[in-house]
A and B are shown apart, each in its own frame.
Chain A
Amino acid sequence: MMNSVFSNKTAITIFVLPTLLIFCAIVLVPIFVSSYYSLLDWNGVGKGAYIGFHNYVELFTDSRALNSMKNSLLFAAASIFIQLPLSLLLALILASNVKGEGFYRTVYFIPVLISTVVIAQLWSKIYNADYGLLNTLLENVGLSHLAQDWLGQKKTALIASFIPTLWQYIGYHMLLMYAGAKSISQDIFEAAKIDGASRVRTAFLITIPLMKPVLKVCLVFSVIGAFKVFDLIYVLTGGGPFFTTEVPSTLMYTTIFDTYRYGYGSAISVFIILECLVVTLIINKFIKTE
């Protein structure tokens, strides 16, 4: 009886088929369609002309495209070397049972939940050259010579557009790392304490190594997040000034919807899929867990 109920072919079809159809049609098939489009010279009207890998050659020789890749790598580097260490520090402190643990965890996480569009608008007001919060604060503490048009100038625009993302996701990585630290068995810390290990030593020699699985997840998320970043740049700077803050996804978007180069835009989207896939594989291969 059990077997016949749980091998009910009709039920399985009803349970699985609709999901599988919608998933394949919307998520899987478009990858192949994009790959095909990427081989075309096509403006979206009529039929495109097949041009082989020409779009990809252009992608790796065009200085604007290369610059966008460089920016997303800088984005990833900033996440890895600034955001993740700060998140780790906060996670370790909060996991060590400080006063107000729950309060801080709740507050740090709030920016994660806010729409990136809102965050971009908010930070564009913070950076506003004339009336923005940042310049006003600088003037109030007597540093008015530092006040400037943060998003409008080539030399500051890129850094100024990193900061909101770093700010937004610190709480997210902190939460994941915190959960990782909390899941470590307490006996290990008892032993360390008996051996007289200091706080910092315990963190570096015991807590962090045992948090490797969650640190790996954070690493993958932050790198992929940097490669995919779109909303923030699109709303904050649109890639400007003079392409200084452009990233592959905004380049893809303008290539498709502003200059109608559907083939080239698709090549960029295939590039984004591949780099996300490759970086995940590399991190999984080089950082072994278990």
Chain B
Amino acid sequence: MSTAEMALPKKTMPIGTILLQAFLILIAITQIYPLIWLAFFSLKDNSEIFSGDVANLPKQFLWSNYAKALSEGHVLTYFFNSVFVTAVSIILVLILSSMTGYAITRMNWKLSGLTLTIILLGMMVPIHAALLPLFMVLKNLGLLNSYWSLIIPYVAFGIPMAVFILGSFFRGVPRELEEAAVIDGCGIYRTFFSIILPLVRPAISTVAIFTFLSCWNELMFAVTFINKESMQTLTVGMMSMVGTYITQWGIIGAGLMITTIPTIIIYLLLNKQVQRSMIAGAVKG
């Protein structure tokens, strides 16, 4: 069995077990009920929500709220923008960080240690520090309201964690594999791309999940650098949508659900991997 089966020696008192389960279920309800409530009111109309009967199942399921949120509320546009910005950011973070992580941990050069230190320091820098300087630069370059105004900062701030996670996986690859590859006539690029990268697939998915969550949910840069509605991502779009439909909770609820569902689906599919990536992100040096 698992290592910490004995973390707390188990008593076999049924009452204790029942109380413990009741407590755990209570917490589970607290954690999940607000979302279920959201799902309910996303399918109701105003009169039903405002009748004071907020906690019940919808009398009839108003899927039209979802249709309205997607079309009139522009959620489809926001959704596409988020998907695009997030996908490009993930790909760039993976390419840049895996190459750099590899060069730092497996290749021989004098400044590798210093480079690693500088990049890892970046994990401690809050994005607040960059907000105004980036805003000024993007404004002067005319890059506000472009996808790049989000992708570039997301990639830059994603790099430290990614280099850290990938680097520690590269360290675990046995030297012999590289030696064998080189003896067989592989150059450095082939060794890296066709031998090493496939070996660290778990680290790559960890970094991808981590980057997905931070880009998909980011607000501060997104609200500052984008004000054109057609370019807004889900987080910012949701804010403007709430302004538009301030009294129509059903439509807002539908928008919030559409924002949330992809994350929940990914989580339920990749549950173990997601949890592992969150742990990996925390356990640094």
Does any Cβ of A come within 8 Å of B145's Cβ? no
Given contacts A14-B99, A99-B21, A122-B256, contact A273 B125 (CB under 8 A): yes
Are A117 and B50 in contact, with the CB atoms below 8 A?
Answer: no
- Partner among A113, A171, A252 whose Cβ is within 8 Å of the Cβ of B263: A113
Which of A52-60, A75-83, A154-162, A183-191 lies at the interface with chain B? A183-191
Given contacts A189-B4, A189-B6, A230-B220, contact A131 B128 (CB under 8 A): no
Does any Cβ of B come within 8 Å of A39's Cβ? no
Are A231 and B9 in contact, with the CB atoms below 8 A?
Answer: no
Are A269 and B129 in contact, with the CB atoms below 8 A?
Answer: yes
Counting contact residues on chain A (CB < 8 A from B), the size range is 35 or more
Does any Cβ of B come within 8 Å of A63's Cβ? no
Bound CA span A41–B159, Å: 33
When distances are taken between beta carbons in the complex, the residues of chain A under 8 Å from B249 are 125, 131
Does any Cβ of A come within 8 Å of B38's Cβ? yes
| Among A95, A113, A133, residue most surrounded by chain B Cβ atoms (within 10 Å) | A113
* A77–chain B nearest beta-carbon distance, Å: 20
Does any Cβ of B come within 8 Å of A243's Cβ? no
When distances are taken between beta carbons in the complex, the residues of chain A under 8 Å from B152 are 22, 26
Given contacts A98-B24, A115-B260, contact A7 B109 (CB under 8 A): yes
Which residues in window 108-137 of B have CB below 8 A to A? 108-109, 115, 118-119, 122, 124-126, 128-134, 136
Bound CA span A22–B28, Å: 42
Taken residue by residue from 27 to 61, chain A's Cβ proximity to chain B (1 for < 8 Å, 0 otherwise) reads as: 11111011001000000100000000000000000
| Among A3, A123, A231, residue most surrounded by chain B Cβ atoms (within 10 Å) | A231
Given contacts A19-B159, A181-B7, A252-B128, contact A231 B219 (CB under 8 A): yes
Does any Cβ of A come within 8 Å of B61's Cβ? no
Does any Cβ of B come within 8 Å of A212's Cβ? no
Bound CA span A99–B213, Å: 30
* B255–chain A nearest beta-carbon distance, Å: 9
Majority DSSP secondary structure for residues of B touching A: helix
Does any Cβ of A come within 8 Å of B71's Cβ? no
- Partner among A24, A118, A277 whose Cβ is within 8 Å of the Cβ of B260: A118
Bound CA span A280–B284, Å: 13
Are A22 and B156 in contact, with the CB atoms below 8 A?
Answer: yes
* A26–chain B nearest beta-carbon distance, Å: 3
Are B49 and A131 in contact, with the CB atoms below 8 A?
Answer: yes
| Among B8, B263, B283, residue most surrounded by chain A Cβ atoms (within 10 Å) | B8
Are A199 and B8 in contact, with the CB atoms below 8 A?
Answer: yes
Are A115 and B8 in contact, with the CB atoms below 8 A?
Answer: no
- Partner among B136, B157, B279 whose Cβ is within 8 Å of the Cβ of A176: B279
Contacts A26-B134, A108-B31, A184-B7 known; list 6 others, CB within 8 Å: A2-B178, A23-B159, A33-B133, A113-B213, A207-B8, A270-B129
Chain B interface residues (CB < 8 Å from chain A): 1-11, 17, 20-21, 23-24, 27-28, 30-32, 34-35, 37-38, 41, 49-50, 52, 54-55, 96-97, 99-100, 102-104, 106-109, 115, 118-119, 122, 124-126, 128-134, 136, 152-153, 155-157, 159-160, 163, 178-179, 182-183, 187-189, 191, 213, 216-217, 219-220, 223-224, 234-235, 238-239, 242, 249, 252-253, 256, 259-260, 263-264, 267-268, 271, 274-275, 278-279, 282-283
20 residue pairs A–B, Cβ–Cβ below 8 Å = A5-B182, A6-B188, A11-B103, A11-B188, A26-B155, A26-B156, A31-B130, A97-B1, A104-B28, A121-B252, A122-B34, A125-B252, A126-B37, A137-B55, A171-B31, A182-B2, A185-B3, A189-B5, A249-B220, A270-B129
Chain A interface residues (CB < 8 Å from chain B): 1-3, 5-9, 11-12, 14-16, 18-20, 22-31, 33-34, 37, 44, 90, 92-100, 103-118, 121-123, 125-126, 130-133, 136-137, 139-140, 167, 170-172, 175-176, 179, 181-186, 189-190, 192-193, 197-199, 202-203, 207, 214, 217, 221, 224, 227-228, 230-231, 234-235, 249, 252-253, 256-257, 262, 265-266, 269-270, 272-273, 276-277, 280
